[in-house]
Amino acid sequence: MANKLKLGIPKGSLQDATIALFQRAGWEIYASGRSYFPTINDGDIECMLVRAQEMARYVEHGALDAGLTGNDWVLENLSDVERVTSLTYSKQSRQKVKWVLAVPEDSPFQKPEDLAGKIIATELVEFTKRYFAEKNIPVKVEFSWGATEVKPPMLADAIVEVTETGSSLRANRLRIIETLMESETQLIANKTAWQNDWKREKIQNISLMLNGAMAAQTQVGLMLNVKNESLKDVLAVLPALNSPTISHLSNSEWVAVNTILDESTVREVIPKLKAAGGTGIVEYPLSKVVL
């Protein structure tokens, strides 16, 4: 179907965060019951829930035109796909995840070389095999079906596991001895679909809106009034995304200033704006920031 985009939504830990991101970008995705085919308020798109671990393979082979998955799984499968954009979000946070080599706290292992001849349990089997092969360290890599953190030391000597905060590793008395890679969510596309003008434009539009929604998560709008005589001092306070918008008011002695700020700086900026002569200061949330 030339005018229908087959889009993969990651099932599992990324599912809720992905659907929430699409909602902020303007698409309502409804995943209910046991159906693997969520509905979406866009007649040009057909959605399918697919495990992130398998997404890249299905996109590469053309079963899906595009999909969202971690860069880790693209590398695990060595998938030949078009990488459209990176979107830094995960299950719990808006930061990259890490795949780490971890061992029991009381083990003698201090570096990867110490694990020569040992057993490594992981879900990221092929990437881990390549990692140790490149270092010329002979190990046995076993696939872990889950609960990987509990396997050392009885079922494995070490693990390669994904972590956001490291709390689960610490709770299981494991320590990290090496970070194998950092990973983030990516929008990927099938290379044949990418050559189709209509599909490429649709995917690019999705990328634009998702990135706009992502940017808005950490930004807020700020508007205030200021006398002309204090405008220079106010502008000196503002770390604007771009040049602030300045509008004349009915009273020629005053102007309105409108800008976008990093949300983390607002608590420090607003008092400075007030001291510099700003008044009627209003902070407001943003839905999308498209640069």
Asked if 5-91+184-216 and 219-285 have one fold, the answer is no
Number of other CB atoms surrounding residue 269 within 10 Å: 19
Mean pLDDT of 260-286: 94
Q: Return the pLDDT at 156.
A: 95
d(CA 210, CA 201): 14
Task: Write down the pLDDT at residue 92.
Answer: 60
Superfamily of domain 97-183: Periplasmic binding protein-like II (3.40.190.10)
Percent of the chain at pLDDT exceeding 70 = 97
91 pLDDT band, cuts 50/70/90, is low
pLDDT number for residue 32: 81
Cα-to-chain-centroid distance, residue 286: 19
pLDDT-derived band of residue 88, with 50, 70 and 90 as boundaries? Answer: confident
Q: Which of 76-85, 219-228, 236-245 has the lowest mean pLDDT?
A: 236-245
- Among 167, 176, 175, 262, which residue's Cα sits nearest to residue 222? 262
Lowest mean pLDDT among 4-18, 60-74, 125-139: 4-18
Model confidence at 223: pLDDT above 60:
yes
- E strand or H helix at 248: strand 245-248
CA angle (136 as vertex; 132, 137 as ends), nearest 5: 60
Quick check: 66 pLDDT over 90?
A: yes
SS3 state at 159: strand
How large is the average pLDDT for residues 51-75? Answer: 96
Separation of alpha carbons 189 and 68, rounded Å: 9
Cα separation of the two ends of the chain: 32
Mean pLDDT, the chain, whole residue set: 93
Domains of the chain, by residue range, sit at 5-91+184-216, 97-183, 219-285
Backbone angles phi, psi at 287, to 5 degrees: -90, -40
Mean pLDDT of 106-115: 95
Report pLDDT for 81.
97
Q: Which pTM value belongs to this model? A: 0.85
277: region left, alpha or beta (phi > 0 left; psi from -120 to 50 alpha):
left
**The CATH number of 5-91+184-216 is which of 3.40.50.1110, 3.30.420.40, 3.30.70.2740, 3.40.190.10?**
3.40.190.10
Over 60: is that where the pLDDT of 1 sits? no
Cβ atoms of 276 and 230 closer than 8 Å? yes
CATH class of this structure's domain 219-285: alpha beta
- pLDDT score, position 242: 63
Name the pLDDT band for 207 (thresholds 50, 70, 90).
very high
Confidence at 34, pLDDT banded by 50, 70, 90: confident
CA nearest to 90, candidates 15, 161, 167: 15
Instruction: Copy the structure tokens of residue 86.
Output: 């990176």
pLDDT for the residue 209: 96
